[in-house]
Structure 1
Amino acid sequence: MISNTKIQKGNILIGKPSMLGDITFNKAVILIADYNEEGVVGFMINKPLNEGLQNLVHDVHKDFKVFDGGPVERDKLFIIHSVPELISGGIKITEDIYWGGQQQDVVRLINQGEVNNNQIKFFLGYSGWSSNQLQDEINNEVWILKDDITNQELISCSDTSFWNKTIKSLGGEYLIWSNAPDNPNYN
């Protein structure tokens, strides 16, 4: 469902097709990881990079996809996961999704095969907004705020087709958007 309520941790932002050619957020699906009076932190969950985890964390012996989390702090690696009982130090986003945790736990669990890509997701960078900026963008219909995507979908979605699936699930006027090209000039 589309939410008319205020932004909360765990909400999903769905980027509308951009007529201005915004490459970063065009067709983005973003999980809101934190929301407070200082601002908003989120992670694009549907934009994989051409960079594997082994290239970034050399102690890891199994490769995982790494996603473009957003344009802020692109030199830092972030995680969301659904195994707080295994990865200590995470910050609760939803009942089943946590942000961050102890890196040594993550490396050990991956190397021992105790976590998989349905339980953990890696990001370079994050998406951020100042305190009222995101609410203004939602009010100006830059984003659709959604609150009913399952926790499993948040971690397991693996590519940009998730945006199409999410837009189609809204029905009505949004159905035509699922066929919008990445670059409106191609239309």
Structure 2
Amino acid sequence: MRQLDFNIFETDVPVIKPSKGRILIAEPFLKGPYFSRSIVLLTEYSKQGAVGFVLNKSSNVYPDEVIDDLFSFKGELFIGGPVASDTLHFIHTIGEALPGAVRVTENIFWGGDFDRLKEMINNDEATFKQVKFFAGYSGWSPGQLENEIKEKSWIVAELGDKVIMESGVEDIWEDTLKNLGGVYKTWSKFPNDPTRN
């Protein structure tokens, strides 16, 4: 049998370091309900650890079904990760108009005055195109994420703010890998269960 002289999991693409505002793309065979074929936006990254939100796991629930005094919000509630799944978090493009918001990228902010946000949504000053809600979050202790990246569980990349805020996220994992090109385009075509291929 002839041996192949390449490894489809090895890339010659320079490794990008994780930082606030960058994304983590799960490698094709990373398992689990939270991280399988997921994309995570890092909202905090330091020597103390990392925090982020899974962008492409819908809960099939609408925020106005679980948030008191929130009316007619048309966006979905996403599953942000396995940590504190009974807590609510949000990212948005409202910016500093929402007191207490923390800048993550040029246009995306994390958190802020929740009561003021509800007022803005109820008064049609903010819509689902500007706000994304998450149940729970993804967290890593010091050194944990770096180890997972070394083990090739995650690819660190950048993603445009517009794509991050989109609500139709069914194909975001595949599309993002395709856009990276090279071996990542091949990864995007891997079946969910290779034993059934």
TM-score (normalizing by structure 2):
0.87
Q: Percent identity?
A: 36
Structure number, greater radius of gyration: 2
What is the rounded CA distance, in whole Å, between the counterparts of 2:111 and 2:170 in structure 1?
A: 23
Instruction: Quote how far apart the aligned CAs of 1:159 are.
Output: 2.0
Q: Give the corresponding residue for 1:131.
A: 142
Rounded to whole Å, the distance in 1 between the matches of 2:195 and 2:58 is 24
1:121, 1:142 → 2: CA distance?
Answer: 25
Query: What RMSD over aligned residues (CA atoms) do the two structures have, in Å?
Result: 1.6
Give the equivalent residue in structure 1 for 2:10: none
Q: Bigger relative contact order, structure 1 or 2, given CA contacts below 8 A and separation 6+?
A: 1
User: What's the TM-score, normalizing by structure 1?
Assistant: 0.91
2:165 paired with 1:155: yes
- Equivalent residues in 2 for 1:13-28, closer than 5 Å: 13-18=24-29, 21-28=31-38
Q: Which residue of 2 aligns with 1:47?
A: 57
Q: Matched residues in 1 for 2:14 and 2:63: separation?
A: 34
Deviation at 1:3, TM superposition (A): 5.9
- 1:49 is displaced (CA, Å) by 1.1
Distance in 2 between residues matched to 1:35 and 1:123, nearest whole Å: 19
Could you tell me how far apart the structure 1 residues matched to 2:63 and 2:14 are?
A: 34
Q: Residues of 1 paired with 2:29 and 2:167: CA distance? A: 22
Provide the C-alpha distance between the structure 1 equivalents of 2:14 and 2:83, rounded to a whole number of angstroms.
26
Counterpart of 1:106 in structure 2: which amino acid?
L
Report the Cα distance in structure 1 between the residues aligned to 2:190 and 2:167, rounded to whole angstroms.
20
Q: 1:92: how far off?
A: 1.4
SS of residue paired to 2:95? coil
Letter in 1 for 2:76: K
The answer to whether 1:109 aligns with 2:114 is no
* Pairwise CA distance, 1:171: 1.3
Contact persistence 2:34–2:57 (CA under 8 A): no
* C-alpha deviation, 1:157, in angstroms: 4.3
The match for 1:56 among 66, 69, 75 is 66
Q: Is the 8 A contact 1:40 1:130 kept in 2?
A: yes
SS at match of 1:14: strand
User: How many pairs were matched up?
Assistant: 184
CA distance in 2, matches of 1:177, 1:155: 24
Aligned-pair CA distance for 1:39: 0.7
